[in-house]
Structure 1
Amino acid sequence: MTQHAPTYPIGTPGQPWGQPEIAAWRAGIVRQRRYEDLLAAIRPLGADFDLIEYGALDYEDQHFPLLALHSRGWRDELPVLVVTGGVHGYETSGVLGALQFLREHGLETAGRANLLVAPCVSPWAYERIQRWNHDALDPNRNFRPGSPVGESAALFALLAPLRGRVLMHIDLHETTDSDEAEFRPALAARDGEAFEPDTVPDGFYLVDDAERPQPAFQRAVIEAVAAVTHIAPADAKGLIIGSPLQSPGVISFAVATKGLCAAITAARFSTTTEVYPDSPRTTPQQCVDAQVTAVRAAIAYALAHQN
């Protein structure tokens, strides 16, 4: 069961953080893995895809190149498919799922569609298994022009020229016990608000765009993933993370209004995945496989319904 933090250990309850509190938060974060190791897995994919550096981040003494891969022989007349992962650095299966999809299935749509994959949007947070970036800002609330978040601004600039031309965009995420134990309490403390505990959904679910819904598309993805891992049920109130179900395993947000990644491209078919890696009913590899299955099902549906 998730342990809720009644009072976050940084800051004064009811008062938003300033720079001293952000510095104290950052000082308590430990680097737990190396982005260089991830780059070593990304770069060999350049044998089959064009590898592009779409930006870079410099935090203190660290330099992070931001890498994406896209189809070799890009053809403007073909539909565009976008996969993003690692918007939140702690959501490991999104990063690994994007890379496994490229290795095992990335060439399946060659000649039928243009593919663009950004596997790790937030490398500083990836190394530290964190939700926020170096400045205690959430990239997935800041995908907009003039974003103050470097990770978000760089990806927004990469994808902005494709806006309105993208057929499908899937953004790969996780919901973990640390959401309730750490990240939501930290958010409340940072913003000077009271923390209101919620439950963590046990299973896989999707987030549709409430302003541009595609319920049949979402159902097709859920049906495919159900063969790999379990789908999250609603809680006792009939909700998932406070939102009513559009259909089993599917909720919806106004993703553009919230500045979420899945809204950047204005894709006809878009969704955000959420995997629960802390469930006793699944394994880390099943979570990665669920992400890959979701990507493939999303692509298959979009291509079959593009006209």
Structure 2
Amino acid sequence: MQPPFYPIGTPGVPWGDAEIAAWLARQRRRRSYADEVLSEIERLLGRFDVVPYGRLDYAPDVYPLFALRSRDWQPARPVALVTGGVHGYETSGVHGALRFAERHAADYTGRLDLMIVPCVSPWGYERIHRWNPLALDPNRSFHPGSRAPESAALLALVAPFADRVRVHIDLHETTDTDESEFRPALAARDGRSFSPGGIPDGFYLVDDTEAPQPAFQDAVIRAVSKVTHIAPADAQGEIIGSPVVAPGVIRYDLRSLGLCAGITDAPYRTTTEVYPDSPRATPEQCNAAQAAAVCAALDYALEH
């Protein structure tokens, strides 16, 4: 049976301005970036330098962008970069980054300079959406001259210290709405047919095809397995269409795809994915899994 076509656009025809406007008119604010994210950043003022690195002007809304930086930032030290909320709807990416900042960051004082960017895409956070208002996916937009303001702002923030980044962990989720909403919308936007797939039940990582670090990925998987379950391969030996190269690990070409985890040449890079819709996981567990992944990544980078 052929899946129904997305309700915006014409099958086989990429969207133009009219279709993007029709899609945008359907989006509604469902939670507050100020109440749920900025308030948490404010609570951490005594522990970090809070760095404003831009603002998103999406009339009538304006979103200030903030990062948390080590107060004893030293240009001679390696940097650990933690990013969350590149896809704003992926809640534990945001709150996992904040949880790490609040509960674990002090353990790395004097050993690494920390730059924590909890919510790269606040418009998407408020609307629980993958895209920005331009119908662009920020996590396919990390390249020079990016048309996604969220991605361009993060690239500008990181540029002055990019050569010092030793480890970068980018926190994501794979949700049921990937299959029910976001993949069909992507296919419609690009004028392609939608082929239904599956959603992996559990945590997994995305390594870099061009510079794989299997021992690093394994260290993160082992740490997270103490908090939540690891996604198994499907019957084809894959997770979301990519071959499983080790338990809970697949690989993408991070840079060519414009993914956040590819914005530096850090030797240790990964993208986390948790499954918040699993009957075997809770929001608390997802946040804890993200924080555990960050700690394991930083510990490995310090030891090697």
Q: TM-score, normalised by structure 2?
A: 0.98
Match of residue 12 from structure 1? 10
Match of residue 71 from structure 2? 72
Number of corresponding residues = 302
Post-superposition offset of 1:145: 1.1
Q: Does the alignment pair 1:99 with 2:98?
A: yes
1:162·1:265 contact (CA, 8 Å) conserved in 2?
Answer: no
Match of residue 51 from structure 1? 50
The amino acid across from 1:40 in the alignment is S
SS at match of 1:172: strand
Match of residue 31 from structure 1? 29
Match of residue 233 from structure 2? 234
| Runs ≥4 residues deviating over 3 A | none
Q: Does the alignment pair 1:255 with 2:268?
A: no
The amino acid across from 2:203 in the alignment is F
The unaligned stretches of length 5 or more in structure 2 are none
Match of residue 81 from structure 2? 82
C-alpha distance after superposition, 1:255-285 (max 9, x if no partner): 0010000011211100000000000011111
Match of residue 175 from structure 2? 176
- Partners of 1:164 and 1:203 lie apart in 2 by 33
Post-superposition offset of 1:163: 2.0
1:5·1:185 contact (CA, 8 Å) conserved in 2?
Answer: no
Post-superposition offset of 1:253: 0.4
2:77·2:164 contact (CA, 8 Å) conserved in 1?
Answer: no
SS at match of 2:45: helix
Match of residue 162 from structure 1? 161
- Partners of 1:139 and 1:187 lie apart in 2 by 13
- Partners of 2:119 and 2:128 lie apart in 1 by 12
1:5·1:181 contact (CA, 8 Å) conserved in 2?
Answer: no
2:242·2:250 contact (CA, 8 Å) conserved in 1?
Answer: yes
- Partners of 2:4 and 2:211 lie apart in 1 by 37
Post-superposition offset of 1:5: 5.2
SS at match of 1:73: coil
Post-superposition offset of 1:60: 1.2
Q: TM-score, normalised by structure 1?
A: 0.97
Q: Does the alignment pair 1:277 with 2:284?
A: no
C-alpha distance after superposition, 1:114-133 (max 9, x if no partner): 00000000000000000000
The amino acid across from 1:24 in the alignment is A
Question: RMSD in angstroms over aligned alpha carbons?
Answer: 0.9
- Partners of 1:19 and 1:126 lie apart in 2 by 23
1:5·1:182 contact (CA, 8 Å) conserved in 2?
Answer: no
Match of residue 118 from structure 1? 117
SS at match of 2:278: coil
Match of residue 135 from structure 1? 134
Deviates more, 1:21-30 or 1:80-89: 21-30
- Partners of 2:201 and 2:253 lie apart in 1 by 23
Match of residue 287 from structure 1? 286
Post-superposition offset of 1:160: 1.6
Match of residue 197 from structure 2? 198
2:162·2:264 contact (CA, 8 Å) conserved in 1?
Answer: yes
SS at match of 1:163: helix
C-alpha distance after superposition, 1:27-81 (max 9, x if no partner): 1111100111121111121211000110000111111000001101211111110
The unaligned stretches of length 5 or more in structure 1 are none
**% identical aligned pairs:** 63
C-alpha distance after superposition, 1:150-179 (max 9, x if no partner): 000000111122222111000000000000
- Partners of 1:299 and 1:103 lie apart in 2 by 16
